[in-house]
């Protein structure tokens, strides 16, 4: 929406009149609080207003109003996105579902019906109360919402064995751009009636509609895993161990943490990690009986073959959980070192050594600290470019490295984003991955759902 | 395409001139051979020609020609579809990919690159040569193609634990309606760059493009399963055992076979099944160690609670495989009893007893034999309405029952098709399941991909 400031204020007032000032927030402070997501996109601007609906009817009213006046809408969950997919835009409102948090578990159908604003952790908790498990576990699971997870098709640590968000969505309630409400799917494990629109929506980054409710598939709780931790002199050695491990078995977790990440975690909160380690590999097996022993033995052999300097195994779930916690602590720890750009590139698993080796070359070329953590078992890496934002030259070098890392991934037949989404920060490279024909199809599909182009403009594809 | 017979012949001749008479078949006999798929849709007509391309370039040439002349195109794999999705239509050609059967396995990335015409069984076989497994296993796996499996998002017996076709598609090569070729995905386990078009295409029943190549995800081969077979007096008892079993554990197979199916199999080929059994439940566990023992114990307890009259367990893989073979023999056996209409309805698992009970009521109401087999663990049932095609009254009653069974599934919050696809036979009920808003979105998306409406007209949504 582009109009004079007065006209804009009048338009916003119309929504306030309908939904009340408790739902439609317009103070500078409130708008500032919803300007950025975790990507801290420097191009984010103050939104016209922040709308905090309490129910689906208010979401519908908001979209009817937006359609009437041509107002851009930035859908938002917890704002924990890492690609700038929820950066506020000029002439936009932020439509944040954080108040819609109801969760209802049905153990009979093994499903959880969660409003979009419910935290991933809350869904897990509600499932656990019935002995059930909601697998998808982005590192952010304690702070990110199910709606946001659906928007990005969030992955996580366990997805190397248990899949990503889309694998656990059986149904969606979606408010269309014009305010109509549609319901897709249901507590049915198999359903091929019509085009699979649920699958199209998961990962669509808020560009096709506002997801207001998610019907999540739950599975029986699994046994506690055993954990193997291996230390390597170099990240490339550790990556080679990953390739060998994953060629023959299917562990429930394969996480890689480099030296810089280990030290950032130790600086932040001493956990007793080996500061001298070039890299640490964290492998878990939740298989039962002899399969578990076989998986761990295969992982150990792979680590030894890749010159691991130390290998530690434990069956104690708490001890294993401590290492997982250390892994999850990497981003918060790195955040304290300065500004950062977080990558999310992926490659076919056998090319993981080339990918992390190439990232090291880019870091050396630009004299930058690029820490690397990776969901290594599915080839998804998170190089984190740390830089001093007050140093213009370093900032420029960081931006160049950010692009070069994506180009590296593409040259290896990989992807510019494995689980965070394109958002706004990765958009410049997307057409190089997909090609113009595919981009054209995507734009045309977007137009079907959102003819006026109101939903999350500039984000995604 | 509607035109005079002479004009049509000229148009077809143009394609023959380009691709040769070996690729473009026009004899009455050849056209008749591709008129029907397994659904034997009575409305299928002779196609103008059958096109049997040997490579993707010939598929592209065919689509360019079809676009130029507005010729309808019915994509076809092995013609083993059960919903009439490949019935030839007036003014159409049948574009059959049965000659494009190349398969290339890459053990490093654990993928198989299969041309669309490769049989599912051939992909499984190629994977097995590398100690790998391609899980999706529709009952037709020995005769159906990967391309057809992708078109319908085929399920099968193992999908209760291992998911359906879409869960194993990492990439697609697709010829668009106008002949352009696009490539989607690659050997990357996680990739959220752009809209998930692969997921949209799997299950799109040949309405969005011609899938020419599929990049299949493979997984390590699993241990041989243990098998539990339970006999019940009634199908409803057996269904109750399924509900209890699946509420707490996740077996690798949960198949249900009713008395009529058992007797049809025994008539066809004596396998020593209990002809007096009201129903037989076939449960397998491929879990390791104590998990296997726990799963089997849970299944046994559930069967006992549901008044099983006999329970048999075996660790012998060959013995287990014999029961699975008996299950797979049901359709060929029932086929011999007369004409039939094959249902594919699903419901939430806890409502399985209501679904099979309702089917029995419908059978009684219309004095029809309706045999029932079910992938019971995911609520997907295949009632088979057997009738005498020469008896007009019985034929009418069968048709009424076919519709009523779909209505029953919808009344239980289920689906009219769990894994066979809508095709042409189930289309009349689709909008009642999806609603007009969703139908509208689907039609608009279809138009994006196929503006002239050439691809599989009348099939799907």
What span, in angstroms and rounded, lies between the C-alpha atoms of B255 and B330? Answer: 12
Q: Say yes or no for a CB contact (<8 Å) between B223 and A247.
A: no
Q: Say yes or no for a CB contact (<8 Å) between B195 and A184.
A: no
Q: Say yes or no for a CB contact (<8 Å) between B108 and A422.
A: no
In this complex, which of A153, A190, A196 lies closest to B192 when CB atoms are compared?
A153
Assigned CATH class of B5-96: alpha beta
Q: Say yes or no for a CB contact (<8 Å) between A434 and B460.
A: no
Which chain A residues contact residue B418 at CB under 8 A? 188, 190-192
Cα distances (Å, whole numbers) of residue B143 to A404, B138, B375 = 47, 10, 19
Amino acid A184: pLDDT? 98
Pick the residue of A83, A192, A290 with the most B CBs within 10 A to test the interface with B by mutation.
A192
For every residue of chain B, which 3-state class applies, written as one string? CCCCHHHHHHHHHHHHHHHCCCCEECCHHHHHHCCCCCCCCCCCCCCCEEECCCCHHHHHHHHHHHHHHCCEEEEECCCCCCCCCCCCCCCEEEEECCCCCCEEEECCCCEEEEECCCEHHHHHHHHHCCCEECCCCCCCCCCCEHHHHHHHCCCCCCHHHHCCHHHHEEEEEEECCCCCEEEEECCCCCCCCCCCHHHHHCCCCCCCCEEEEEEEECEECCCCCEEEEEEECCHHHHHHHHHHHHHHCCCCEEEEEEHHHHHHHHHHCCCCCCCCCCEEEEEEECCCHHHHHHHHHHHHHHHHHCCCCEEEEECCHHHHHHHHHHHHCHHHHHHCCCEEEECCCECCHHHHHHHHHHHHHHHHHCCCEEEEEEEHHHCEEEEEEEECCCCHHHHHHHHHHHHHHHHHHHHCCCECCCCCCCCCCCHHHHHHHHCHHHHHHHHHHHHHHCCCCCECCCCCC
Pick the residue of B195, B198, B348 with the most A CBs within 10 A to test the interface with A by mutation.
B195
What span, in angstroms and rounded, lies between the C-alpha atoms of B404 and B246? Answer: 27
Assigned CATH class of A103-220: alpha beta
Q: Give A176 to chain B, closest Cα distance, Å.
A: 10
Strand partners, A75: A95
Pick the residue of A63, A184, A190, A298 with the most B CBs within 10 A to test the interface with B by mutation.
A190
Q: Say yes or no for a CB contact (<8 Å) between A159 and B220.
A: no
Q: Tokens 């008539």 identify what position?
A: B267
What span, in angstroms and rounded, lies between the C-alpha atoms of B116 and B213? Answer: 5
DSSP string for residues in A280-345: EEEEEE---HHHHHHHHHHHHHHHHHTT-SEEEEE--HHHHHHHHHHHHTHHHHHHTTSEEEE---
Amino acid A326: pLDDT? 93
The whole-number average pLDDT for the span B391-397 is 96
pLDDT tens, B42-71?
999 999 999 999 999 999 999 999 999 999
Q: Give B6 to chain A, closest Cα distance, Å.
A: 36
User: What does DSSP say about strands A92-96 and A72-76: parallel, antiparallel, or unpaired?
Assistant: parallel
In this complex, which of A159, A188, A192 lies closest to B152 when CB atoms are compared?
A192
What are B453's two structure tokens? 């409406």
pLDDT tens, B227-283?
999 999 999 999 999 999 998 889 999 999 999 999 999 999 888 899 999 999 999
Which chain B residues contact residue A196 at CB under 8 A? 153, 166, 199-200, 202-204
Which chain A residues contact residue B185 at CB under 8 A? none
For residue A382, the tally of other CB atoms under 10 A from its CB is 24
Q: Give A166 to chain B, closest Cα distance, Å.
A: 10
pLDDT tens, A89-142?
999 999 999 999 999 999 999 999 999 999 999 999 999 999 999 999 999 999
> Please, are residues A134 and A103 in contact by the beta-carbon 8 Å criterion?
no
Instruction: State phi, psi for B416 to the nearest 5 degrees.
Output: -80, -15
What are A317's two structure tokens? 């779930």
What span, in angstroms and rounded, lies between the C-alpha atoms of A448 and B443? Answer: 10
Cα distances (Å, whole numbers) of residue B140 to B121, B137, B149, B328, B364 = 9, 8, 10, 8, 30
Q: Say yes or no for a CB contact (<8 Å) between B190 and A152.
A: no
Q: Say yes or no for a CB contact (<8 Å) between A193 and B460.
A: no
Q: Say yes or no for a CB contact (<8 Å) between B189 and A349.
A: yes
What are A204's two structure tokens? 């669509």
Which chain A residues contact residue B177 at CB under 8 A? none
In this predicted structure, the answer to whether residue B171 has a pLDDT above a threshold of 70 is yes
In this complex, which of A190, A419, A435 lies closest to B190 when CB atoms are compared?
A419
pLDDT tens, A127-166?
999 999 999 999 999 999 999 999 999 999 999 999 999 9
> Please, are residues B232 and B302 in contact by the beta-carbon 8 Å criterion?
no
Q: What angle do CA A20, A23, A27 make, to 5 degrees?
A: 95
Tell me, which fold does domain B223-335 have in CATH?
Alpha-Beta Plaits (3.30.70)
B31 CB contacts (<8 Å, ≥6 apart)? Answer: B25, B46, B47, B48, B49, B50, B88, B94
The alpha carbon dihedral of B296, B300, B301, B305 has a sign of: positive
In this complex, which of B184, B348, B439 lies closest to A188 when CB atoms are compared?
B348
Residue of B nearest to A202 (CA): B196
Instruction: State phi, psi for B203 to the nearest 5 degrees.
Output: 100, 5
Q: Say yes or no for a CB contact (<8 Å) between A437 and B176.
A: yes
In this predicted structure, the answer to whether residue A1 has a pLDDT above a threshold of 70 is no
Confidence of residue A291 (pLDDT cuts 50, 70, 90): confident
Q: Say yes or no for a CB contact (<8 Å) between A193 and B415.
A: yes
Hey, do A103-220 and A226-411 end up sharing a CATH topology, with the first three levels equal? no
What are the domain boundaries of chain A?
Answer: 103-220, 226-411
In this predicted structure, the answer to whether residue A288 has a pLDDT above a threshold of 90 is no
Q: Say yes or no for a CB contact (<8 Å) between A190 and B249.
A: no
User: What does DSSP say about strands A219-220 and A226-232: parallel, antiparallel, or unpaired?
Assistant: unpaired
CATH assignment of A226-411?
Answer: 3.40.462.10
Q: Say yes or no for a CB contact (<8 Å) between A191 and B290.
A: no
Q: Is B107 exposed, middle or buried (0-12, 13-18, 19+ CB in 10 A)?
A: middle
Amino acid B2: pLDDT? 63
Q: Tokens 């900032």 identify what position?
A: A395
Q: Crossing angle, helix B392-411 and helix B427-434, to 10 degrees?
A: 20
Which chain B residues contact residue A444 at CB under 8 A? 448
The CA-based diameter of chain A, rounded to the nearest angstrom, is: 71
Confidence of residue B289 (pLDDT cuts 50, 70, 90): confident
What span, in angstroms and rounded, lies between the C-alpha atoms of A192 and A15? Answer: 39
For residue A64, the tally of other CB atoms under 10 A from its CB is 17
Confidence of residue B79 (pLDDT cuts 50, 70, 90): very high
Q: Say yes or no for a CB contact (<8 Å) between B445 and A441.
A: no
Q: Give A427 to chain B, closest Cα distance, Å.
A: 9
Q: How long is chain B?
A: 461
Query: What count of CB pairs under 8 Å joins A to B?
Result: 250
Which chain A residues contact residue B348 at CB under 8 A? 108-109, 186-188
Pick the residue of B194, B215, B380 with the most A CBs within 10 A to test the interface with A by mutation.
B194
What are B64's two structure tokens? 């360019």
Amino acid A336: pLDDT? 87
Pick the residue of B159, B160, B189 with the most A CBs within 10 A to test the interface with A by mutation.
B189
Task: Tell me the three state secondary structure of residue A440.
Answer: helix
What span, in angstroms and rounded, lies between the C-alpha atoms of A426 and A84? Answer: 9
Q: Say yes or no for a CB contact (<8 Å) between B188 and A379.
A: yes
Q: Give B200 to chain A, closest Cα distance, Å.
A: 6
Please report the ipTM that was assigned to this predicted complex: 0.96
Cα distances (Å, whole numbers) of residue A343 to A36, A401, A406, A426, B58 = 18, 10, 8, 9, 41
What span, in angstroms and rounded, lies between the C-alpha atoms of B371 and B235? Answer: 11
């Amino acid at each position: 929406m582009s109009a004079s400031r007065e006209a804009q204020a009048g338009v916003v007032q119309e929504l306030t009149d309908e939904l009340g000032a408790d739902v439609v927030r317009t103070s500078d402070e409130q708008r500032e609080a919803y300007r950025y997501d975790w990507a801290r996109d420097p191009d984010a601007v103050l939104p016209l207003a922040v709308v905090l609906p309490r129910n689906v009817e208010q979401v519908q009213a908001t979209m009817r109003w937006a359609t009437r006046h041509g107002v851009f809408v930035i859908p938002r969950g917890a704002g924990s996105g890492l690609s700038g997919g929820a950066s506020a835009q000029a002439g936009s409102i932020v439509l944040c579902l954080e108040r819609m948090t109801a969760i209802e578990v049905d153990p009979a159908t093994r499903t959880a019906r969660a409003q979009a604003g419910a935290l991933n952790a809350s869904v897990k908790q509600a499932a656990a109360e019935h002995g059930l498990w909601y697998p998808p576990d982005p590192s952010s699971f304690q702070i990110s919402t199910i709606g946001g997870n659906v928007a990005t098709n969030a992955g996580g640590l366990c997805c190397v064995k248990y899949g990503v968000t889309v694998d656990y969505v059986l149904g969606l309630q979606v408010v269309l751009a014009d305010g109509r409400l549609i319901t897709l799917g249901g507590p049915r494990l198999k359903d091929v009636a019509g085009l699979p629109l649920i699958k199209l929506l998961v990962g669509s980054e808020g560009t096709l509609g506002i997801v207001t409710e998610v019907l999540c598939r739950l599975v029986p709780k699994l046994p506690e895993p055993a954990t193997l931790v291996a230390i390597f002199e170099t990240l490339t050695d550790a990556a080679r161990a990953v390739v060998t491990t994953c060629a023959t078995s299917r562990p429930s977790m394969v996480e890689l943490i480099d030296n810089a990440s280990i030290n950032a975690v130790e600086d932040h909160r001493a956990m007793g990690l080996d500061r001298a380690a070039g890299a640490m590999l964290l492998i878990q097996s939740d298989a039962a009986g002899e399969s578990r022993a076989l998986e761990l033995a295969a992982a150990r052999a792979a680590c030894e073959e890749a010159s691991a300097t130390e290998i530690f195994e434990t069956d104690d779930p708490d001890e294993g959980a401590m290492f997982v916690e250390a892994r999850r602590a990497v981003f918060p720890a790195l955040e304290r070192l300065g500004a950062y750009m977080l990558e999310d590139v992926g490659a076919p698993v056998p090319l993981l050594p080339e990918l992390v080796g190439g990232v090291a070359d880019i870091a050396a070329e630009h004299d930058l600290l690029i820490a690397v953590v990776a969901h290594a078992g599915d080839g998804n890496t998170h190089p984190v470019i740390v830089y001093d934002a007050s140093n213009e030259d370093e900032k420029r070098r960081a931006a160049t490295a950010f692009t070069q890392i994506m180009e590296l991934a593409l040259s290896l037949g990989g992807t510019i984003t494995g689980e965070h989404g394109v958002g706004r920060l990765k958009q410049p490279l997307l057409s190089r991955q997909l090609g113009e024909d595919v981009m054209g199809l995507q734009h045309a599909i977007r137009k079907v759902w959102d003819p006026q182009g109101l939903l999350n403009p500039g984000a995604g594809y």
